[in-house]
Amino acid sequence: MTEFESLLRDVRKCTICEKYLPNGARPVLQINPGARILIAGQAPGIKVHNSGVPFDDASGDRLREWMGVTPEVFYDPHQIAILPMGFCYPGKGKSGDLAPRPECETKWRKQLLDELTNVEMVLVLGKYAQAYHFGSASSSLTELVKSWQDYWPHRVPLPHPSPRNNLWLRKNAWFEQELLPPLRLKISDILAH
């Protein structure tokens, strides 16, 4: 067993925050050192927790559409890594799911990111992932996403593809017109090599 395989086995068996999780621990991620694109998200929702498949929900359908990739490409860990801020479903809050648990970041995130030496583009979804990957640059979601060209093509800030963001998408039509066409082209180019 390689060091990476051992690390991934340990991550998948992790129960460090289980006592805080209403549905128990079930780490959901997709990673391979050869991946060229990294999706840095928030945390799995309940549907993903139940299936064990990352983005196996309406958010995933929209994200694949944004990226211009098929499910076969999306779920190939040699091409696309999916590493949320929290690997387990955190539970339901007043206005959606709770924030990702912090334990994954402190225990696993750096070790896993260090394995991704071939990544050419990181798609950064939502405020928790944006705070991690952009630091103080992540003032407001809209401002950060509008400044996408400042980080292009290595890091791309995106709104979360959740149906909860339909209003944001309607108010910010520029996102689909200006950002998504070059995003699809760049992803196609990265995956073609």
**Tens-level pLDDT at each residue, the chain (193 residues):** 899 999 999 999 999 999 999 999 999 999 999 999 999 999 999 999 999 999 999 999 999 999 999 999 999 999 999 999 999 999 998 888 899 999 999 999 999 999 999 999 999 998 899 999 998 655 788 999 999 999 999 999 999 999 999 999 999 999 999 999 999 999 999 999 8
For residue 136, what pLDDT is reported?
66
The token pair at 58 is: 């309406």
- Ranges of each domain in the chain: 3-186
pLDDT at 80: 98
Tokens 């996403």 -> residue: 145
Contacts of 173 (CB under 8 A, 6+ apart): none
Interatomic CA distance for residues 73 and 7, integer angstroms: 24
The type of residue at 82 is: I
Ramachandran region, residue 91 (left: φ > 0; alpha: ψ -120 to 50; beta: rest): left
Determine the Cα–Cα distance for residues 174 and 159; give it in Å rounded to an integer: 13
Q: What is the CA radius of gyration of the chain?
A: 16
Helix (H) or strand (E) holding 183: helix 180-192
Position 95 scores a pLDDT of: 80
CATH class as words, domain 3-186: alpha beta
Cα 68 from Cα 186, distance rounded (Å): 10
pTM of the model: 0.96
Q: Are strands 92-93 and 96-97 parallel, antiparallel or unpaired?
A: antiparallel
